[in-house]
Amino acid sequence: MIADSEIELHASRLMVMQAAWKHERGEDIRHESSICKVFVAEAVNRIIDRAVQMCGALGVSADTPLEHFYREARAFRIYDGPSEVHRMVIARDVLRSGNRS
Ligand SMILES: Cc1cc2nc3c(=O)[nH]c(=O)nc-3n(C[C@H](O)[C@H](O)[C@H](O)COP(=O)(O)OP(=O)(O)OC[C@H]3O[C@@H](n4cnc5c(N)ncnc54)[C@H](O)[C@@H]3O)c2cc1C
């Protein structure tokens, strides 16, 4: 579980850094920002969920900040556009451009 979370954190960092790099070069990053929004928001939820699971009952108690993180992170998949809407935009971009990545 720790390795899975580390892999997702690593992928999230690289994804955001690549989008930031393109943005700094003045490139249009609407496609990349939607990809980051979906992947990172969902990865954060999986990572916190694993941390809660590893801690057992302690993970759902008020004795650690995990329960608070869990509640806060759930909204990441909704605000700034729900994942479903970003997926729709990403798929539309891919279909329009033929081959995005
Ligand atoms: C904590 C928090 C902070 C927020 N802060 C701000 C803010 O600062 N400024 C601001 O303007 N807004 C803010 N919002 C609002 C947020 O952007 C909206 O909640 C979000 O865009 C989803 O809109 P909605 O709640 O009307 O859900 P709806 O649009 O009704 O969507 C409900 C659900 O239906 C599904 N869905 C919707 N559209 C599609 C689609 N096309 N295809 C497939 N499924 C779909 C998704 O699962 C979605 O979660 C905030 C929301 C939260 C929870």
The CATH code for residues 2-97 is: 1.20.140.10
Instruction: Give the 3-state secondary structure of the chain.
Output: CHHHHHHHHHHHHHHHHHHHHHHHCCCCCHHHHHHHHHHHHHHHHHHHHHHHHHHHHHHHCCCCCHHHHHHHHHHHHCCCCCHHHHHHHHHHHHHHHCCCC
Tens digit of each residue's pLDDT (9 = 90 or more) over 45-85: 999 999 999 999 999 999 999 999 999 999 999 999 999 99
Tens digit of each residue's pLDDT (9 = 90 or more) over 25-40: 999 999 999 999 999 9
11 pLDDT more than 70: yes
State the pTM of this model: 0.92
Distance 85 CA to ligand 1 centre (A): 9
What is the best residue among 37, 72, 76, 79 to mutate for testing ligand 1's pocket, by most ligand atoms within 8 Å of CB? 79
Report the pLDDT value the prediction gives residue 98, as an integer from 0 to 100. 77
